Amino acid sequence: MGTPGKAIKGIFFLIMTFADKILAFNDNLDLDPALLPDGISVMNPFRGPYAGTIRSVTSQFYRRFYADNDLRHLILGINPGRFGAGVTGVPFTDTKRMKEVCGISIDIDPTHEPSSVFVYEVVDAFGGPVPFYRKFYINSVCPLGFTRSNEKGNEVNYNFYDDRQLQEAVTPFIIDCIERQIDFGTATDRCYCMGRGKNFKYLNALNRQQKWFGEVVPLDHPRFVVQYRSRRMAEYVDQYVQALSQQH
């Protein structure tokens, strides 16, 4: 027989909304810095100096757009950046998009994240945040970000796959996080991956091993589009819409 405590916890999880599950997931995100290679720091907005503000903003955001139990597809980026989720707690959403598009003010110095610009062009193409977020849930392969000091002593973003030792150290954490998010009630016929190169190669290999999704669909990373293909942004938005609208 199962224990009464576990049964009650299971029933409570079933009646939680998608928003409740995301917020509980974020609250419990933690990664031991001792696991990381020298010179690399973990970036966890939910435990940093602005954690109280970020928890308030994410609570407003997810309760506004995810207060249901609709089936959604996962869209996974690489890992959070300093000016997007590193500040707002919401992947690919900087303070400007949070206020102007999502209608949620954040009491932190304004930030501009280039990837957020493209993502919200895609969101707009779906009719805005309400219809878009009803169908999709965006996070990252690794939901916590990393930084390192460059030659000038400035902290810069660092991808989990940029260092073999770092990648190996965080893979158990990544597996656990993806499985916990699938348990929210996300669709498993396919998952979308932002980044056709290393991010897709890593996630696709992990998926073949873990057998989470029927397929992993690669998409160009928003940062690549904004930085190298800005004049063709409308074309890439159309590509995203076509890929995200596919039916099986």
The mean pLDDT value for 105-134 works out to: 93
The mean pLDDT value for 161-190 works out to: 96
**Residue 244 φ then ψ, to 5°:** -75, -20
| Structure confidence by residue, pLDDT tens digits, 32-52 | 989 999 999 999 999 888 899
Contacts of 245 (CB under 8 A, 6+ apart): none
**If you write DSSP's letter for every residue of the chain in order, what string do you get?**
---HHHHHHHHHHHHS-HHHHHHHHHHT----GGGSPTTEEEE-TTSSTTHHHHHHHHHHHHHHH--S---BEEEEESS--TTTHHHHSSTT--HHHHHHTT----SS-----HHHHHHHHHHHHTTSHHHHHHHEEEEESSSSEEEEE-TTS-EEEE-GGGSHHHHHHHHHHHHHHHHHHHTTTB--S-EEEE-TTHHHHHHHHHHHHH---S-EEEE--HHHHHHH-GGGHHHHHHHHHHHHT---
Q: Residue 245: what pLDDT?
A: 94
Judged against a pLDDT cut of 70, whether residue 3 lies above it is answered with no
The mean pLDDT value for 209-224 works out to: 97
Residue at token pair 């989720």: 85
Give, in order, the Cα–Cα distances in Å from 100 to each of 58, 73, 96, 97: 15, 25, 6, 5
Q: Residue 7: what pLDDT?
A: 47
Q: Residue 6: what pLDDT?
A: 52
Across the beta sheet with 40-43, what order do the strands follow?
40-43, 145-149, 155-158
pLDDT band of 192, cuts 50, 70, 90: very high
Name the CATH topology of 16-244. Answer: Uracil-DNA Glycosylase, subunit E (3.40.470)
pLDDT band of 84, cuts 50, 70, 90: confident
Q: Residue 107: what pLDDT?
A: 84
Judged against a pLDDT cut of 80, whether residue 88 lies above it is answered with yes
